[in-house]
Structure 1
Amino acid sequence: MENTKEHYGLFTATTMIIGIVIGSGIFFKSDDVLLYTGGNVLLGVLVFCIGALSIIFGSLTITELSIRSKKDGGVIGYYEEFISTEAANAFGWFQTLVYYPTINAVISWVAAIYLLSLFHVDETLEAQIIIGFMIFTFIYAINTFSYKMGGHIQNMSTIIKLIPLLLIASVGFFWKGSIPIIPSDVTVITKTTVGFKWLTALAPIAYSFDGWIIATSITNEVKNPKRNMSLALIIGPIVVLSVYLLYFLGLNQMLGAEFIMSTGNAGINMVGTLLFGKNGSSILMIFIIIAIVGVINGVSLGNIRLPQTLASKNMIPHSDKISKLHPKYEVSILSVWISYVVTLIWMLIHYITQKTGILHGGDVSEIAIVFSYCCYTILYIKVIRMKKQKIIDSFFKGIICPILALAGSSIILCGGIISNPFYVICFIILCSLICSLGYSYSKFTNQKNCQL
């Protein structure tokens, strides 16, 4: 493949992680966390901290591979160099055909929901899917025809989305007003003792921390990647956890646990009113939409380059054609089309699952996230082995971090299976089949090359 240029610095790499992880979820997860913890705010803080294990210690562990890797392609490159070419091919096919496109399709749909809500348009599933299609098509076009514009959108959306979170956190810290009264037509949910049932809160909160790994897909386009990507993988997750905790505490200070639990997701509208007045809920909704668009942009930025990355390593059919970069746009146009079409297919599948309700309130991206964390465990175990081989000197980085990262992945896996046992298992089988196809293709290609 033609040499790619180093477009992005530490700031963009870091904002990509923060921008992808902090989406709409944090605005609507606080009530779930409080319900599972019986309104205990301190237990809620503990849930956020445990949920962050998967991202903070996962990124610290992956950093040990990134600073030693000579391969490009992010996690695919780490698999290639530290596990095997076949394993890299298997994981690459999963990311290209399932992980990235499912997240892109679902997040675009979520953006459409909020956009229609903002303008008070009839929110049919069909309208949501059509608007979602238009949103991700527009974002794809931007990232294809102007990598600079895509980077600017990532930086700006990350900064903008932090405004309401930090505003609520800071205002809540100094908030002296009385807690709002729960509307009379709302069933009041009071604080209770839940025992060890608070552990069930780990499942929904885990999804609020996903997406950080996508930033590694632009490693070869980051200036001084060994320094900047390593720093980004450390700084980004810590910033995310800090923002989440400050927001959660500020929200509770302003509304109170019982109001949040009783009103559910509608509680965020009250915050908008308290902060901005009569039209506050609409203003806050605009910030949330910008936050989601930032996620779509970050995922798209990585998604359009995945087939290109695989082709550069001869991991997919017609690699010679797909790996060619457009001289002006510095990205493979065929790579863009492949990722775009696959995302369209998953958007159709998402429509069918939502229309039929077979996932019982869940979506295809959640199950893909569960499987992806199963894949990361292979890299975490490799870091532990590198410590035993004395390649890594630090006990903390070589043993403690990967063990805690494994614990975080186990939490997400258990939470996913508990939430939807039958379809999660079916989906894991599908993902395993796709990985097997990628693995077999690599085996076939290697044997063919050896015969030549």
Structure 2
Amino acid sequence: MKEREHYGLGTAISMIVGISIGSGIFFKADEILIATGGSVWLGVLVFVIGALCVIFGSITLSQLASRSSMRGGVVSYYEEFVSPKAANAFGWFQLFVYFPTITAVVSWVSGIYTISLFGLPSSLELQTALGFMYMTFFFTMNYFSYKSGGRFQNITTIIKMIPLIGIGLLGLFWTQSAPALPEGVMLVERSNVGWGWLGALAPVAFSFDGWIVSTTITQEVREHKRTMPFALTLGPLIVLAVYLAFFLGLIAIVGVEFILSAGDQAIGQVGQSIFGLYGERILLSFVLIAILGVVNGISLGYIRLPHTLASKNMMPMSNKIVQLDEKKGLSPYSALTAYLLTVFWLMMHYVTQRWDILAGGDISEIAIVFSYVLYIVLYVKVLQLKKEKVIKSWFLGIAAPILGTIGSLVILLGGWFSNPVYMPIFIGFSAVVCVLGYLYSIQTTKATLKEG
């Protein structure tokens, strides 16, 4: 079947910007400042390092995107430029770990902010139930109407930029003194954290994560060989500019000590400082829209992944999952598989949070850091293409992949600093999933040879 090119440059960029700019920046900004001991310039440096990791990584992958003729984003890059077995390993990681854990956690976060916005009694059960409702709605919408999913992504991306850029601009001209700390909150002053600031790279990686999801719709983007490299380069630059504006504006309005002391409450205080009594709810409305844009963007990409793997016979029940609804251009079994896996991980997230199994962490941490390690394989492949003179540019073929690799290793180091107890477990679990995918590929290859 001829690929349907539904989307344009705007949707590709809005997926990158819309998924990256979601919940992370709103509730991770304080963690970044705390990890740097209140040093604003170290915080800026961490943002820049995180952005460069993504920018050089996306520029590098754009070289594969422009040369790929296969559907499936990074999975297809592995298949086309590394090997089918490696693609199967990476595909299983994305299918069973990366996409569903992040979708589940962000859906849950949307429940948290809904409760805050409407002043509902807060409980883990209600947060999870609301997250389940949002998740179900967006999976359904993106299956039944690709146009609605694309439009919602574009709209929410624009809306979520308003408070981020607005706070950044207001910070430039803000002259009022820092607000008093909320009652019962103890003052936390700036400190020298030494090399501990590297731990800030983990929340930064979370804040930037999601850009890779846009590659799943590559073959559905008009003139994708030109469009996707441009989108993968411009998108992270936009995210960096917006993040820095928000981070510096936040500090200008409430002050470093308030953020260090009050943590997540700083966002609500910014709303009150700007808009008055109802300011917190106004700002929370924008935050909720931003998070829902992330849930929509991830589900938009995820419902296509099982079909991509099934079309290559990379997973069980491929014959069933590969069947397309010709009117929608999507597989109902693919969408259902993605949905059920996300429901499973949402339940696992509930269990880990209820009994604090991950010591304050969450299941999304399993995937984010490990994914950057897997990208290194593709960066090395781009270096080989330069050596083979397939890529002519020195910057695109050598500088970008080397800097992308360094960036991935830096994020791995930052993740280790932030959670030295559980990060090895997360990495080991993800590696086991990859090995199982690799072994499955070997098994299906042998079965195919026997049948032949």
* TM-score after normalising by structure 1: 0.96
Amino acid at match of 2:431: S
Give the match for residue 255 of structure 2. Answer: 256
The answer to whether the 8 A contact 2:365-2:426 is kept is no
User: Measured at CA, do residues 319 and 130 of structure 1 come closer, stay the same or move farther in structure 2, by a change above 3 Å?
Assistant: same
Aligned-partner SS, 2:422: helix
Q: Deviations over 1:31-76 (max 9, x none)?
A: 2222222322112111110111221111011011111112221101
The answer to whether the 8 A contact 2:271-2:279 is kept is yes
CA distance in 1, matches of 2:94, 2:193: 38
Q: Report how far residue 269 of structure 1 moved.
A: 1.1
Report matched runs for 1:267-306 at 5 Å: 267-306=266-305
The answer to whether the 8 A contact 1:18-1:212 is kept is yes
Q: CA RMSD in A?
A: 1.5
The answer to whether the 8 A contact 2:47-2:240 is kept is yes
Give the match for residue 59 of structure 2. Answer: 60
- Of 283-292 and 266-275, deviating more is 266-275
Q: Report how far residue 237 of structure 1 moved.
A: 0.4
Give the match for residue 223 of structure 1. Answer: 222
Matching of residue 49 in structure 1 with residue 48 in structure 2:
yes
The number of aligned residues is: 451
Give the match for residue 405 of structure 1. Answer: 404
Give the match for residue 211 of structure 2. Answer: 212
Q: Deviations over 1:68-95 (max 9, x none)?
A: 1122211011000110011111111111
- Of 289-298 and 324-333, deviating more is 324-333
Give the match for residue 359 of structure 1. Answer: 358
* TM-score after normalising by structure 2: 0.96
Q: Report how far residue 192 of structure 1 moved.
A: 3.1
CA distance in 2, matches of 1:444, 1:241: 44
CA distance in 2, matches of 1:428, 1:263: 32
Q: Report how far residue 254 of structure 1 moved.
A: 1.6
CA distance in 1, matches of 2:203, 2:30: 11
CA distance in 2, matches of 1:449, 1:410: 38
Give the match for residue 97 of structure 1. Answer: 96
Q: Report how far residue 403 of structure 1 moved.
A: 1.7
Give the match for residue 173 of structure 1. Answer: 172
Aligned-partner SS, 2:334: helix
Amino acid at match of 1:334: Y
Give the match for residue 438 of structure 2. Answer: 439
- Of 423-432 and 7-16, deviating more is 423-432
Report matched runs for 1:31-430 at 5 Å: 31-183=30-182, 185-430=184-429
The answer to whether the 8 A contact 1:354-1:363 is kept is yes
Amino acid at match of 1:50: I
Q: Deviations over 1:312-349 (max 9, x none)?
A: 22222332331221122221000011111111111111
Aligned-partner SS, 2:263: helix
Aligned-partner SS, 1:364: coil
The answer to whether the 8 A contact 2:198-2:414 is kept is no
CA distance in 2, matches of 1:72, 1:416: 31
Amino acid at match of 1:365: S
Q: Deviations over 1:278-312 (max 9, x none)?
A: 10000111110100000000100011100111112
User: Measured at CA, do residues 450 and 196 of structure 1 come closer, stay the same or move farther in structure 2, by a change above 3 Å?
Assistant: same
CA distance in 2, matches of 1:184, 1:432: 46
Q: Report how far residue 228 of structure 1 moved.
A: 1.0
Q: Deviations over 1:220-268 (max 9, x none)?
A: 1111111111111011100000100111111222222122222211111
CA distance in 2, matches of 1:214, 1:41: 31
CA distance in 2, matches of 1:37, 1:420: 16
What percentage of residue pairs aligned between the two structures are identical?
A: 54
CA distance in 2, matches of 1:375, 1:429: 13
Amino acid at match of 1:439: Y
The answer to whether the 8 A contact 1:260-1:267 is kept is yes
The answer to whether the 8 A contact 1:367-1:416 is kept is no
Aligned-partner SS, 2:264: helix
Q: Report how far residue 24 of structure 1 moved.
A: 1.4
CA distance in 1, matches of 2:130, 2:338: 19
CA distance in 1, matches of 2:439, 2:310: 16
Q: Report how far residue 183 of structure 1 moved.
A: 4.1
Amino acid at match of 1:350: H
Provide runs of 4+ in structure 1 moved above 6 Å. Answer: none
Q: Deviations over 1:118-159 (max 9, x none)?
A: 122221111111111111001111001100000011001111
User: Measured at CA, do residues 99 and 184 of structure 1 come closer, stay the same or move farther in structure 2, by a change above 3 Å?
Assistant: closer
Amino acid at match of 2:138: I
CA distance in 2, matches of 1:313, 1:246: 44
Mind listing any 5+ residue stretches in structure 2 that lack a counterpart? none
Mind listing any 5+ residue stretches in structure 1 that lack a counterpart? none
User: Measured at CA, do residues 249 and 418 of structure 1 come closer, stay the same or move farther in structure 2, by a change above 3 Å?
Assistant: closer
